[in-house]
Structure 1
């Protein structure tokens, strides 16, 4: 008969099944309410959800998420530590959990999904929040990851922000086909301030390949119709940019927005964002979510002018 491990011994293992979800939820995070539905939809699997236990106490946890059922993990989006633990025990526990889980899930040489975490908007000035954020980033960093970007998470809510009115300078129409949109997506990568896009370009991929991959791997996964997507043109038919309002597994979102290089600096972004907001507002959605890099100041200001509120931030770390 197998004897249980001593109560003081750290045990690191995946969940045995969905019935252990309550154990996993012992440590809190803002996405806890999505776990049950994600498991049912196949976006998570028990073998992707790991805990570090000392007796019955969860000392740390980690979990990966896939964009669609049957797909490989896309993001390490849960990584929590028991913040009552002293250092270095807290960090060492998190490090051991990550190293053990990733060795099982991602064999040597396999690409590791990026780490993403939602954090309070004031995390740098709140000592408790800053300690928690930095402890997790240190542990992830010790596995070889580096910070890629910090992002603003934004929200527009009916009733607290007015539906933007058309500006009158641009004409909007539906996207004709994949080729038209991908071509415009490739064009807006010239001078992009988006860290993920820049990283892809700096890796040696051409703008066209980056655009093709984003279309195939991201845009095709949305639950909303492509008929919502809009091309912005001048009255003479010259394309200025585009906006892709959409619905993912959880929220209505501004999935992608861009202005072509030759038309930047004229304030067109406000009218293009307003069009995307109007389309989603007309669907009666309770909120619209969006995000942009902290370093993309022009886009952040456009969202602010449109009534989007920065309710949260996110950090993304990657393994090279």
Structure 2
């Protein structure tokens, strides 16, 4: 079948773009208004009848495509998705650059409820050159959930400066179980990986640095840190870690509790967080702190 493949012509075509279901449909208006999306990053494939056969879109926080986060097709229209993604990537992405990761939010029980659709979309991305990096847990603490009391084992303060933040972040990359960090470490030095995360993400969030915490022993020796923050959509535990020399003592529970207390004090309805399915110590810490796994996420990358 022949398809008309093109970017949407503006907000007037949002109804067409939204005619395939996905939870991000509700965010498109705000994302366009805030510059996190652009019409020329939102592509559709329509059939001879004018109906939507497939769609794809990128999201950004930097002015350049940062994530491919929408990839859908109507029943039986995998061919439309293949043609659409190939055409859109050629038009949107700079020649010679590595494409941004593809990410998809899923039901926590997706293998039982939507496996065919998920694997179909992943197959489209695979045929475009992507491969699975990781499956992640999307977690949520909800207002009214008890917060672990401060047991007094640790003290908390702000970071002295950016160099201290980078020093501590670099140290925690030793032995990390995070798939993104491990992939980055395959081609960059730990300090470079920490700097990219700090400058490219953490310091961009529209929330005060006063929320950030260094956890120390009573004598002042740093044990770990946590970055409570607010992204464009929710309060989040953006990043936390325990230094290698202090792992195995349960300090992750104390550090996570402090980050949760900082955000809960802002009277927020929820706090979001993510961790890899394979990072079982971190997943267990979130579960013990009352965070529920409300969704999963698959992340695919191009090399």
- Is TM (by shorter chain) over 0.5? yes
Q: Which runs of 5+ in 2 are unaligned?
A: none
Q: Contact 2:133–2:299 (CA<8 Å) still a contact in 1? A: yes
For each residue in 1:175-195, what CA deviation from the matched residue of structure 2 results, as whole angstroms up to 9, or x when unmatched? 111010110000000000000
Look up the match of 2:8.
Answer: 15
How do residues 1-320 of structure 1 correspond to structure 2 at under 5 angstroms? 9-54=2-47, 55-68=49-62, 71-82=63-74, 84-85=75-76, 90-126=77-113, 129-159=114-144, 161-203=145-187, 205-320=188-303
Residues 45-54 or 102-111, more deviating: 102-111
For each residue in 1:236-273, what CA deviation from the matched residue of structure 2 results, as whole angstroms up to 9, or x when unmatched? 11100000000000000000000000000110000000
Q: Which runs of 5+ in 1 are unaligned?
A: 1-7
The number of residue pairs the alignment matches comes to 302
Q: Contact 2:136–2:298 (CA<8 Å) still a contact in 1? A: yes
Q: Contact 2:142–2:270 (CA<8 Å) still a contact in 1? A: yes
* Partners of 1:288 and 1:201 in 2: CA distance: 29
Q: Contact 2:138–2:273 (CA<8 Å) still a contact in 1? A: yes
Deviation at 1:290, TM superposition (A): 0.1
TM-score, length basis structure 1: 0.93
Look up the match of 1:5.
Answer: none
Q: Contact 1:43–1:65 (CA<8 Å) still a contact in 2? A: yes
Q: CA RMSD in A?
A: 0.9
* Partners of 2:265 and 2:95 in 1: CA distance: 49
Q: Contact 1:91–1:138 (CA<8 Å) still a contact in 2? A: no
Secondary structure of 1:79's match? strand
* Partners of 1:91 and 1:57 in 2: CA distance: 15
Secondary structure of 1:278's match? helix
Secondary structure of 2:133's match? strand
For each residue in 1:190-238, what CA deviation from the matched residue of structure 2 results, as whole angstroms up to 9, or x when unmatched? 00000010001012x1110111111110012101001100000000111
* Partners of 2:194 and 2:151 in 1: CA distance: 29
